[in-house]
Amino acid sequence: MLIELFGKNFGCFRDEFRLSMLATDIDPGSDRGIIEARVEGDEEPLRLLRSAALYGPNGSGKSTVLRAARALGHLLGASRAFTSDEPLAPYEPFALGPQSDQPVTLGIRAVIEASVYDYSVQFSKVAFVGEKLTQLSGEMPTDLINRVDQHVEGTWKADPQFQLISKGFRPNALLLALADSLAPGLAKGIAVALQRLLTARDPTSRFDWPNDRSEHVAKRARDDSGFNGWLLERLKSADVGVVNLDTEEVRRVFRVRTNAPDADEEREGRESVRTSFRLALLHGGRDGPIPLPYARESLGTQRLVEMAPLLYDLAHGTEPRAAFVDEFDASMHPLLLQGVVRHFNCEIPITSAHGQLVFATHETALLDDEAKDAILRRDQVYFTEKDEFGASRLFSLAEYKERNNLNIRRRYLQGRYGGLPSLGTFTE
């Protein structure tokens, strides 16, 4: 489970930022928005937040926080396969000051298999200059990996396989990622577990999805009856006119030219088959359900369908997972967004919850109601804003000591917490 994401000198964050998923005692006696994680040696489970929402003006840093999760996950998954001269693409230091050529810091704290781990990396454009993995559960913190440039310390160094790994590794490779591939018994799947807690999505970006965004949903709906039924019920609840859904397997045959010595055989080539999947949503018509091409569905319906596999896995997956979603409210009606977030945050039993959701939004309807009854707890609400020098800061609504019967939305829009644009005039 995700406990904290943190970083420094990344994007618009000149100084350190920390997004904590530790639940406070702000709402005692309530399990709203709570997910529990067992930690070895502790009698009581760790109470973590099921979701967190980021609010703030455009350009204030919301997307940067989510991009930090994407960057760290990418480095953990890809650095083991980098070529020796491949630059570290996520290197994005604060550009408006002397930090513009300094290392970036990104890190995560998480519960994995009942143990708490703190993992952080520091990197420049071409190399990792620091990497540290600390196990925090137990009587004393234990550094498993403590790397500075190419010098490595830590308890894992006593392992013969890790000794070989740490002798001749590339400067642009992460030791945790290499250990996951070359010494899996020692690495214990920590890298993979951390990657599952760093899933990032932007519903508005074509780069986050396959060319046909609905194809992966269609295949999942065909192969997974549980997901199929869940998606249909969500679409019916969303009141978008869908009464059923259908998937179709499409097989296309095409010829691939060969290098055969026979000229006639080369011209004819060989047949190859590509299988794809097509999704059609059935709408209620006067004469019964009628399938419509997916491309004719509203943008809001498409967004809901395309986010469905991720939301389903967060709500029903058996392994801990966290997702960072930008523009979560894109093309969604406020009432639909409220329903989706309420279901995930408030209605799934605490005993079966394994997923966490961090999202950026501008929709303040999620804050509407007395704080004790709103969809989001106060410690689930974060704000971003920039200072006069262009540096962003991230802060929690829980930092404000207020009564639980106040309307958070009204007070936020009144400017009591910050995180609002300071608009000038738009007149000619």
pLDDT of residue 352: 82
pLDDT higher than threshold 80 for residue 364? yes
Whole-structure pTM value: 0.91
| Max mean pLDDT range (18-32, 104-118, 260-274, 295-309) | 104-118
pLDDT of residue 403: 86
- When pLDDT is cut at 50, 70 and 90, the band that residue 426 belongs to is confident
* CA 366 – CA 376 distance, rounded (Å): 7
pLDDT in tens, 225-281: 999 999 999 999 999 999 999 988 888 777 666 665 555 555 555 777 778 888 989
Instruction: Report yes or no: 411 and 85 within 8 Å, Cβ to Cβ.
Output: no
Average confidence (pLDDT) over 293-311: 90
Average confidence (pLDDT) over 396-420: 91
- When pLDDT is cut at 50, 70 and 90, the band that residue 351 belongs to is confident
pLDDT of residue 262: 56
pLDDT in tens, 35-83: 999 999 899 999 999 999 999 999 999 999 999 999 999 999 999 889 9
Average confidence (pLDDT) over 108-130: 97
pLDDT in tens, 130-173: 999 999 987 799 999 999 999 999 999 999 999 999 988 999 99
- Torsions phi, psi of 400, nearest 5? -95, 120
Residue type, 26: I
Domain boundaries, the chain: 1-197+321-428, 210-319
Dihedral sign of CA atoms 313, 190, 325, 54 in order: positive
Of 6, 48, 187, the C-alpha closest to 178 is 187
pLDDT of residue 7: 98
Average pLDDT, the chain: 90
* Percent of the chain at pLDDT exceeding 90: 70
* CA 113 – CA 193 distance, rounded (Å): 9
3-state secondary structure of 175: helix
Q: Which residue has the higher pLDDT, 250 or 219?
A: 219
* CA 78 – CA 392 distance, rounded (Å): 28
Tokens (6 digits) for 211? 């060319």
CATH topology of domain 1-197+321-428: Rossmann fold (3.40.50)
- When pLDDT is cut at 50, 70 and 90, the band that residue 182 belongs to is very high
Q: Which residues, other chains included, contact 38 with Cβ-Cβ below 8 Å and sequence gap of 6+?
A: 45, 46, 111, 114
pLDDT higher than threshold 90 for residue 287? no
pLDDT of residue 311: 92
Give the alpha-carbon dihedral of 389, 391, 396, 399, to 10 degrees.
Answer: -40
Of 221, 409, 235, the C-alpha closest to 336 is 235
Average confidence (pLDDT) over 210-228: 85
Q: Which residue has the higher pLDDT, 184 or 274?
A: 184
Taking CA atoms, 81 is separated from 86, 173, 185, 379, in Å, by 10, 8, 20, 39
* Percent of the chain at pLDDT exceeding 70: 94
To which H or E segment does residue 270 belong? Answer: strand 270-285
Instruction: Report yes or no: 357 and 51 within 8 Å, Cβ to Cβ.
Output: yes
